[in-house]
Structure 1
Amino acid sequence: MGSFILITALFLYSYNWISVSVSETQTVEVQLGQEVTLLCPNISKHPTQTDWFRLVNRTEVSCVSAMYKSDGEASFCDGFQNRFEMSSNITTVFLKIKRVDFSDSGLYFCGFYINAHTVISNTVHLNVQDGDFDNEVDFKTEKTPDGITNLMTVVLGALTVFLTIVIIVLAVKIRKLQTAVNEEPQTERNKSCKWHQTARSDKQAVMIVLCKMNTY
């Protein structure tokens, strides 16, 4: 079930069924080694698939996790299985990160599959700092500049190209497997054939092939 959810997420993004709807970015500052929970408002009125992604250095987009329905089991992409937890309720989707590291810094955004489109609902900028400050996590909210929205559109476009290649490779592999399966019955049929020799009145040998037909 988990792999199906992740493949579905790739399928949706690879076919440009994406809508960016970002009005504000929340900045979260956390100290190295702390635990932090990122929040995303649930904009869907019906049970649907929700995905978390991370943008690093404004160029690299990574799949973090995916979940179908608020009571579903979360699936995590490579590199996010150990310290990340995804959960949800009727109003909010959560992404908990344990023992944050500098590599966890970046722009996180969540998406919902609504009306045949994946809608990017909210963005959270996580800034992991090293140093002494209050143990409480600092949350700030600010308007998202148009440049960031445009940047996300460009990055999602690049992600679309990459995922399209992945889909094509998977399709080729599946086609080869289907071809191998279709050829196997014919091979078994040939193995079940027996060659018999009969003599005719003119003493010429005639080879007759008797094949046992399998019925299913």
Structure 2
Amino acid sequence: MMNFTLTLSVLLLCSLSRFSLSVSEFYTVEVQPGEEVTLLCTNYTTSPTQMIWFRVVKRLKPHCVVSIFKPSESASYCGGFQNDRFDVTSNISTVFLKIKQVDLSDSGLYFCGYSINKNPVIVGATYLEVQVFDGIAKTTSVIMGALTIFLAMVIIGLVVKIIQNLQKGIFRAFPTIRNRRPASETEVETHVIHSGTDALSC
């Protein structure tokens, strides 16, 4: 879903801002406040050219972050972006944008590109999402997990107790049958003994 949104945003940006999209490189990066993150894009130009990093935050108008012409030269930072937090470096094939001590305001769509006849060409885009985990939410999740385990143990204990009670009820309803012969066999044996006695009397 995030990749679809990112693709749609870039395509809409290209259509409304007269940008050209040469390569579909889309990434999503998630970080925590205070961390450091490095974004990158591949330099697809065969000759030295000015590579520019842009950022879009909740609006369609892109803002320049920083630009660099050659790896050996220093970067030029655009208004509102300080070089103490944003650092751009480049080699022959890749342009890196390092953001130090990220905060919520750094979230947004970052993309890099270059210009051909004054028309910017986007070669890569990254959606940076700075996430904040609420301590209360984390504590609530831990409590809910512990409560779930406790309830599961209670349910298991009740099931075991019910099974034991059922077994006791079955034993009471059907007591142990001792080895004894049926009354019919005893009667037959008694008749046989009496008959034998009568025969001897005669």
TM bracket (short chain): 0.5 to 0.7
Residue number in structure 2 paired with 1:7: none
Asked whether the equivalents of residues 56 and 107 of structure 1 are also in contact (C-alpha less than 8 Å), the reply is yes
| Cα distance in 2 between the residues matched to 1:126 and 1:69 | 25
The answer as to 2:86 corresponding to 1:84 is yes
Whether the aligned pair in 2 keeps the contact of 1:32 and 1:129 (CA below 8 Å) is: yes
Q: 1:35 to 1:121 in 2, by over 3 A?
A: same
CA RMSD of aligned residues (A): 2.1
Contact 2:25 2:123 in 1 (8 A): no
Rate the CA distance shift 1:61–1:115 in 2: closer, same or farther, 3 A: closer
Give the equivalent residue in structure 1 for 2:47.
46
Partner SS, residue 110 of structure 2: strand
Give the whole-Å Cα distance in 1 for the aligned partners of 2:50 and 2:61. 23
Higher strand share: 1
Answering whether residue 127 of structure 2 is matched by residue 125 of structure 1, we say yes
Q: How does 1:98-137 map to 2 (within 5 A)?
A: 98-114=100-116, 117-131=119-133
In the TM superposition, what are the counterparts of 1:128-207 in structure 2 within 5 Å? 128-131=130-133
In structure 1, list runs of 5 or more residues that go unmatched: 1-15, 133-216
Count of residues in Structure 1 that have an aligned counterpart in Structure 2: 117
Residues 74-130 of structure 1, C-alpha deviations (whole Å, 9 max, x = no match): 011122113100110011000000000100000001012346643110000000011
Q: Distance in 2 between matches of 1:106 and 1:131?
A: 18
Secondary structure of residue in 2 paired with 1:107: strand
Structure 1 residue identity aligned to 2:74: E
Provide the C-alpha distance between the structure 1 equivalents of 2:18 and 2:114, rounded to a whole number of angstroms: 11
Spell out structure 1 runs of 4+ moving beyond 6 A: none
TM-score normalised per structure 2? 0.53
Contact 1:19–1:118 (Cα < 8 Å) also in 2: yes
- Give the corresponding residue for 1:26: 27
Larger Rg: 2
Letter in 2 for 1:27: T
Displacement of 1:25 after TM fit? Answer: 1.4
Identity of aligned residues (%): 56
The separation in 2 between residues aligned to 1:113 and 1:31, in whole angstroms, is 33
For residue 40 of structure 1, give the secondary structure of its aligned residue in structure 2. strand
TM-score (normalizing by structure 1): 0.50
1:176-196, CA deviations, whole angstroms, 9 ceiling, x for partnerless residues? xxxxxxxxxxxxxxxxxxxxx
CA contact (8 A) 1:101 1:128 kept: yes
Residues 107 and 129 in structure 2, CA contact (< 8 A), matched pair in contact too:
yes
- AA aligned to 1:29 is E
- The match for 2:62 is 61
